[in-house]
Chain A
Amino acid sequence: MINLPLLPILIPFITAAVLMFFPKRIKAQRTISIISSLGAVIASFVLIFTIRQNGIQTVNLGGWDAPFGITLVSDMLSALLVAATSIITLFVIWFSFYYMDEGHERHYYYVAVQFLLVGVNGAFTTGDIFNMFVFFEVMLISSYVLIVLGGKKEQLRESFKYVLINVISSALFVIAVAYLYSIVGTLNMAHVSERIAEINQPGILTVIAIFFLLVFGLKGGIFPLYFWLPGSYKAPPIPILALFGALLTKVGIYAIIRTYTLFFYHDTGYTHMILGVLSMLTIVVGVIGALAYRDVKEIIIYNIIIAVGVILYGVSVMTPEAIEGSIFYLLHDMIIKAALFMLAGIMIAIVGSSHLKDMGGLIKEYPWVGWTFFIAALSLAGIPPFSGFVGKLLIVQGGFRAEEYIGPGLILLSSLLVLYSVMKIFTNGFWGTPKEYHGLKASMAFKLWIPTAAVVVIAIAYGVGAEAVRPFITQAVEPLVNPAIYIEAVLKE
């Protein structure tokens, strides 16, 4: 099956087109979208094992050879990210069966989610820089739909900001690609990398590298460019927020990882130093936000920003160890952020408010939610048996090996404060004297809890089974450290 890397993109795409025919038949919408997401998960796992055995998989769309057509490239990194994306989407769709009101479901909610999956999977898989832009737009336009769907006042205000900022960053992306094209004369990423190596990255390419950092930083929410994120992510309902928090910023991070390891690795003294400094500042800003707020949603939103900083710090160090840690942490963070947002969603559904002052004593009636949250919180902070540990350990080790002390120290300190920020939710929300709540009934909360617990179980398995996951991650790091592997797989010389 030569089209295997395409399947995780094609399955949701066809599903989205089919679902557009009968938006009002909710049962059919639900069934079809969950079955197709399951299909995408299976396809992505088959893809992972194929890559494990046979190396990087490529498809030249339309049969045109590598630098001339659009190539889809699935190396282990993109396959792992595609798998994580598909899994998260599957459980979020399941979660939204019970969470979303009928108004959403009747107005193309599942279509937009499937298109989001197309965009994210496509952006992870593509091997063509302009095609990456197109998939970014597919992802962003469906996220515009999702953020505004429902039409509440807050959503309208925040979606306006969100659309504005993303239109600007997309325009910058096009300009950056135009600059790059005018210098190297190609769009295929492997070919771009080869050409940059030939001319040995003159000054103008370093300028373009910073340009790309601006663009992807706006999408991913790094330090001076994160300002749109807290407000916009607060507006939409929880399942949509879980998708955004788990997937959208990670696409920006993936794009930074890809361009900074494949294109701009010749003059790392300048570009990667800037990336390192910005990522440290991102951690600081995120920690301040996570400590400052007493609103469940906002605390977790600022935790997204912290994670962005941690992952990018690992990339900026550029040792194999640190990059491996970044990949480990990236996958962990996608899963755990989805789980945390879903748990916060259950709390908000029960209490009817997202502020900590309205909560208390939830553990009395909802012990299963409480302990799941506890485990997810430990996992987020990186307590050893759980999933956040290995990634952070490798990043910190890599940082020390590169003889940097501020960054790793900052990461260690941030872990403590991350733990404090989520434990604040746990102690204030679950302990204390119970209050009267008029939200969901316990049976309904239990239905919401099942998909959430499943995601937490995946996170635990990822942490406990780190030994089993390790070879896959190591394989994912190879083309990042040695771009020749990637180039050879695409251009087949």
Chain B
Amino acid sequence: MKKTNDVILQTVTKIITFMIILFSIDLFFSGHYTPGGGFIGGLMTAAALLLILLAYDIKTLQVILHVDFKLMTATGLLIAILTGTGALLFNEPFLKHAFDYINLPILGETSLHTAVLFDIGVYLVVIGVTMTIIQTIGESE
């Protein structure tokens, strides 16, 4: 079969991917006060990566984003567990979260919550698992 020319799909992908990733990051950070959070954010990021896979191929994605998604899953899991385990150091029950208002240089007074660290773990696990599934099925003949 002759290879088709995907110039329109590829050009659109270049622009759209960044928008999807920005949207996913917005969803991720809005999780505490509005609908959103680690799970939907991670799925959305994975969707952006999937679009790259559709428009290009697996090798291109590896060039752009040189990560092993299995390690990403492991890292996310470890971050999530250790966030919960951190409470043990202060003799608090597991998963006890803490928050505080901190003055950051640019953002001003911001409420920082350790639940976000847990959510980062969820976010990484979701991306890692989704991409591992897609890549493994895609690579097997």
Which among A17-25, A251-259, A318-326 touches the partner chain? A17-25
Contacting B93 at CB < 8 Å: which of A3, A18, A20? A3
Closest to A62 in B: B95
Contacting A21 at CB < 8 Å: which of B71, B94, B96? B71
Closest to B70 in A: A20
Bound state CA distance, A2 and B70, in angstroms?
34
Judged by a CB distance under 8 angstroms, whether A60 is at the interface is yes
Bound state CA distance, A61 and B88, in angstroms?
11
Given known pairs A10-B85, A14-B85, the reply for A63 and B93 (CB within 8 Å) is yes
- Are A17's CB and B94's CB within 8 A? no
Judged by a CB distance under 8 angstroms, whether A6 is at the interface is yes
Set of chain B residues within 8 Å of A386, measured between Cβ atoms? none
- Are B78's CB and A18's CB within 8 A? yes
Judged by a CB distance under 8 angstroms, whether A13 is at the interface is yes
- Are B94's CB and A59's CB within 8 A? yes
Contacting B91 at CB < 8 Å: which of A2, A6, A60? A2
Q: Which of B71-111 contact A (CB under 8 A)?
A: 71, 73-74, 77-78, 81-82, 85, 87-88, 91-97
- Are B73's CB and A20's CB within 8 A? yes
- Are A62's CB and B70's CB within 8 A? no
Chain B interface category by residue count: 10 to 19
Set of chain A residues within 8 Å of B97, measured between Cβ atoms? 62
* Interface of A, helix, strand, loop or mixed by DSSP: helix
Q: Which of A37-69 contact B (CB under 8 A)?
A: 59-63
Chain A interface category by residue count: 10 to 19
Closest to B88 in A: A3
Whole-angstrom distance between the Cβ of A131 and the nearest chain B Cβ: 12
Closest to B82 in A: A14
Whole-angstrom distance between the Cβ of A242 and the nearest chain B Cβ: 27
Whole-angstrom distance between the Cβ of B77 and the nearest chain A Cβ: 4
Bound state CA distance, A21 and B70, in angstroms?
8
Set of chain A residues within 8 Å of B88, measured between Cβ atoms? 3
Bound state CA distance, A346 and B125, in angstroms?
39
Whole-angstrom distance between the Cβ of A170 and the nearest chain B Cβ: 19
Bound state CA distance, A59 and B94, in angstroms?
8
- Are A17's CB and B74's CB within 8 A? yes
Most B CB contacts (10 A, CB to CB) among A1, A10, A17, A63 go to A17
Set of chain A residues within 8 Å of B96, measured between Cβ atoms? 62-63
Bound state CA distance, A20 and B132, in angstroms?
14
Bound state CA distance, A3 and B96, in angstroms?
11
- Are A61's CB and B94's CB within 8 A? yes
Binding site for A on B (CB under 8 A): 70-71, 73-74, 77-78, 81-82, 85, 87-88, 91-97
Q: A14-B78, A20-B77, A62-B95 given. 11 additional CB < 8 A pairs?
A: A1-B91, A3-B93, A3-B94, A14-B85, A17-B81, A18-B78, A20-B74, A21-B71, A21-B74, A59-B93, A63-B92
Which 4 interchain pairs have the tightest Cβ spacing? A20-B74, A17-B77, A62-B95, A17-B78
